[in-house]
Chain A
């Protein structure tokens, strides 16, 4: 199976072969055949409509692939168990208007099987780590940046195995971006697999081990980040692949 350079064949976090998703009317993603090794940090880049979010949806089991196989840490993606320990941040973040941060945290804590009492005790400190306060304000009163911080807090509640982020910097101020960078560095050091889909090439250049370029639903390029000695070289590589 072709793999993204540097990916481990021993324990692939994501392994797909001939993966396709038909939208009808001739529009499709794939076929995608790739491996993302456990513990690696991969930047998923591409133009708008390249298929990045669709690929992530298939990985998360939100969209069943039309054809091909997809496994997460050796388990078939159809099994709900394969998605345990995987955190996810959506591209477009919005929550039920009347829900408060603690309601959402309580829900996702229970869904991830975390100890409720322990979570309640540590909730304030945990949210503080994301620059959020425990208030009675519903999420409709949150700014876009606060919603993004809350979504990051929810995504990182249980990401022991993998964290998938779709445009993680969206709406964050410079302090928030620095906070996110520190959290991702820490997760990377702990061996969590990171898959970051973004349009902002500069922000993933120093974090990612390798880059995966999607273009018109297919892998247009895969390369270790160490091959690019500076940002212009990385940008040139990307632009050449999506021409």
Chain B
């Protein structure tokens, strides 16, 4: 790619990133990080008893990883959806966006620049959350759980998959429709995947189980991620979810670019 298209791409990304930095969303996102430190303070400090029995640190750490990573994944997903909502809001493909497209900017470059402007703050946020989680665990309990940094990669894949699907859907549906559809759909996919992996239910054949397994396995990626931090959570087949997530991402990107290039603006 010659320098002029790269300059144009960078200009669009910078412009799209500006409202993310200025608006209330980053402050809300940063405030949300407080939630990640609460389980560490409750579970890792002092004595913890279950049914009157003292719980050892190894088991406590598992609780913290499960609750902490789930909180990070939940917050990252929520704020990524909010970033998508903001970047593809009422101005999407109207006014300034059309002016941009009329200025010798190719549609694929525009589409990808918009996506990148969502992914950059999303990845920064995830990384901050993981760093805070590691720092709090180290400071409060003296546990150096450096494995948690691996979580940035699968979480990044989940967000890339989510954003690719969001932008693909934006070619057909209204912004709020997609937002609420994901808010409703994601917990179902998550819970069904996690039950399938940990409890063994929903793994058997059946229309519902088969359909859920065909959908992006966000819950499966979640399970694999926790397995990288603690063997307690590792399940043999959970890596399949990474392949599933990557396939969905590539398919959603390819379909989104194809449809957007032909879309009537």
Q: Does B265 contact A (CB under 8 A)?
A: yes
B100 touches A111 (CB 8 A): yes
Q: Does B104 contact A (CB under 8 A)?
A: yes
- Report the minimum CB–CB distance from B6 to chain A (whole Å): 11
A64 surroundings in chain B (CB, below 8 A): 262, 264
B19 touches A98 (CB 8 A): yes
**Complex Cα distance A83/B103, Å?**
6
Query: Across the two chains, which residue of chain B brings its CB closest to A139?
Result: B96
Interface size of B in residues (CB-CB distance below 8 Å): 28
Residue in B11, B94, B95, B262 whose beta carbon sits within 8 Å of that of A111 in the complex:
B11
Q: Does A57 contact B (CB under 8 A)?
A: yes
Given the contacts A96-B19, A98-B22, A107-B15, A88 and B102 also touching, CB distance less than 8 Å: yes
Render A53-84 as a binary contact track against B, CB cut-off 8 A, 1 for contact.
00001001111100000000000000011011
- Report the minimum CB–CB distance from A190 to chain B (whole Å): 20
A155 surroundings in chain B (CB, below 8 A): 99
Residue in B15, B94, B99, B105 whose beta carbon sits within 8 Å of that of A80 in the complex:
B105
B22 surroundings in chain A (CB, below 8 A): 98
Q: Does A216 contact B (CB under 8 A)?
A: no
- Report the minimum CB–CB distance from B56 to chain A (whole Å): 51
B31 surroundings in chain A (CB, below 8 A): none
**Complex Cα distance A64/B262, Å?**
8
Q: Does A95 contact B (CB under 8 A)?
A: yes
- Report the minimum CB–CB distance from A7 to chain B (whole Å): 23
Given the contacts A83-B102, A83-B103, A99 and B11 also touching, CB distance less than 8 Å: no
Q: Does B52 contact A (CB under 8 A)?
A: no
Q: Does B200 contact A (CB under 8 A)?
A: no
Given the contacts A63-B264, A96-B91, A98-B22, A104 and B106 also touching, CB distance less than 8 Å: no
B95 touches A95 (CB 8 A): yes
B18 touches A111 (CB 8 A): no
B103 touches A111 (CB 8 A): yes
- Report the minimum CB–CB distance from B232 to chain A (whole Å): 46
**Complex Cα distance A86/B91, Å?**
22
Given the contacts A107-B11, A113-B4, A62 and B19 also touching, CB distance less than 8 Å: no
**Complex Cα distance A63/B98, Å?**
11
Given the contacts A64-B262, A94-B91, A103 and B102 also touching, CB distance less than 8 Å: no
A99 touches B265 (CB 8 A): no
B102 touches A110 (CB 8 A): no
Given the contacts A64-B262, A113-B4, A99 and B102 also touching, CB distance less than 8 Å: no
**Complex Cα distance A60/B100, Å?**
11
A214 surroundings in chain B (CB, below 8 A): none
Interface centre among A57, A95, A111, A113 (most CB of B within 10 A): A111
**Chain B residues within 8 Å of A, Cβ to Cβ:** 4, 7-8, 10-12, 14-15, 18-19, 22-23, 91, 94-96, 98-106, 262, 264-265
Instruction: Given A95-B96, A96-B19, output 17 extra A-B contacts at Cβ < 8 Å.
Output: A61-B102, A62-B265, A63-B264, A80-B104, A84-B104, A93-B95, A96-B96, A99-B18, A99-B96, A103-B15, A103-B18, A104-B15, A110-B10, A111-B103, A113-B4, A154-B99, A158-B103
